[in-house]
Amino acid sequence: MTRWFWLGSVGAFALFVYLTHAVMLPFLAGLAIAYLLDPVTDKLETIKIPRGAATGIVITLFFLVIAGVVLAFWPVLQAQIAAASKTVPQTLAGLRPWLNQVLQTISDRFGPEFVGDVDSMLAAFSDQLLAKTQQAAGSILKSGLAVFNIMGLLLISPVVAFYLLRDWDLLVAKIDSWLPPVHAPIVRGLMQKIDSVLAGFVRGQLMVSTVMGVLYGLGWSLVGLDFGIVLGVLAGVMSIVPFVGALFAAAVAVIMAIGQWGFDPVQIGLVASVFLVVQIIEGSFLTPKLIGDRVGLHPVWVLFAVFAGGEVMGFVGVLVAVPAAAAIAVLVRYWIDVYLEHYDIAEAATGEPHDILVQSNLGEQRDGQTS
């Protein structure tokens, strides 16, 4: 009965998350902020500051730091974004001659019917892309859901973070009181492992992404790439999503470099070199020092988790994919350990290999001998 109850509870929770993921971003942001700041609040409690006051101090300082960073960089970001909105269409137009040449080569080799009228096709594609982009941007800005998410991030997330952080220990104690006494030690041990994995990954990944964003912005600005700071910020934010975010940022930077300098191998090489150097720093120093092996997931599984999360829950799914996969990995390792423990006990009791496959092979051999 207990097993089915917990399975049903997990299933109901998963269904609830799936059905409400479209409006969950502000609440997840508040939860993440509370989770990140809980250790700092606990430290303040140890010096006799009440939990409520400690929460107010930590939340206020956190958002003041965020606001200070935004205000410090906002003039530069605003100028580069405004310039980019005017320059990007020209950059894309500058790529048209090269695309014309490539498609013309294909047409010469495979016949004009293979690609049709290259120039008209590109013009139609550009016009359609621009129209679709403007339409999508307009619909997103007019969407009540988008307004809710934007306002939620600005207004709801701080409120959610404050109340969760203030009552964090009470909530943990309440959930702990619901655990069946027989299973409580095991569940507590698993939760401690999951907490260790998530704390190491989330806090470490945020620091890694921040440092990478700064390095990208400085590097691309130094090599003369237009909007280097904006691209650096974009790359840092995208780096929160492992592998996919970095590759996307690199592709955008290379495209902007081609639009700015054409196919100048030196300039494109410099832009690509900045990306490679930052990736080397991230792989050899930042991630080992700040994250280490806490997650313990193979890169293929990380990619699978990111794509699966995006397919199921969109942007929210991409953000929570790796932490969720890390938590699931802790549970899977526990189940494997339990299986192996029972396997060893059964083998020690019988003195024979306790394996379904081995027993099946022995049975087939006996059947062959009798026949």
Residue written as token pair 């269409």: 89
Residue 365: what pLDDT?
46
Rg of the chain over CA atoms, in angstroms?
A: 27
- Rounded distance between C-alpha atoms, residue 185 and residue 189, angstroms: 6
3-state helix, strand, coil in the chain (%, to 5): 90, 0, 10
Q: The tokens of 243 are what?
A: 């592998």
Q: The tokens of 260 are what?
A: 């700015």
Q: The tokens of 10 are what?
A: 């997990």
Which residue, among 317, 326, 328, has the nearest Cα to 28 in the 3D structure? 317
Residue 103: what pLDDT?
67
- Per-residue pLDDT 10s for the chain (371 aa) are 566 776 787 788 778 877 887 778 788 888 888 988 999 999 999 998 999 999 999 999 999 988 887 787 777 767 766 666 666 666 666 666 766 676 677 667 766 655 555 556 555 655 555 555 555 445 444 444 555 556 667 788 889 999 999 999 999 999 888 888 887 888 889 888 888 888 877 778 888 888 998 999 999 999 988 888 888 888 888 887 777 777 777 888 888 887 778 778 888 899 999 999 998 888 888 877 777 666 667 777 878 888 888 888 777 788 788 888 888 888 888 888 888 877 766 556 665 554 444 444 444 444 444 44
Residue 114: what pLDDT?
55
| Stated pTM of the model | 0.68
Residue 371: what pLDDT?
47
Residue 219: what pLDDT?
93
CB count within 10 Å of CB 52 equals 12
What is the residue type of 304? F
Residue 327: what pLDDT?
86
Which residue, among 157, 119, 173, has the nearest Cα to 27 in the 3D structure? 157
- Rounded distance between C-alpha atoms, residue 252 and residue 50, angstroms: 48
- Contacts of 169 by beta carbon, 8 Å cutoff, 6+ apart: 51
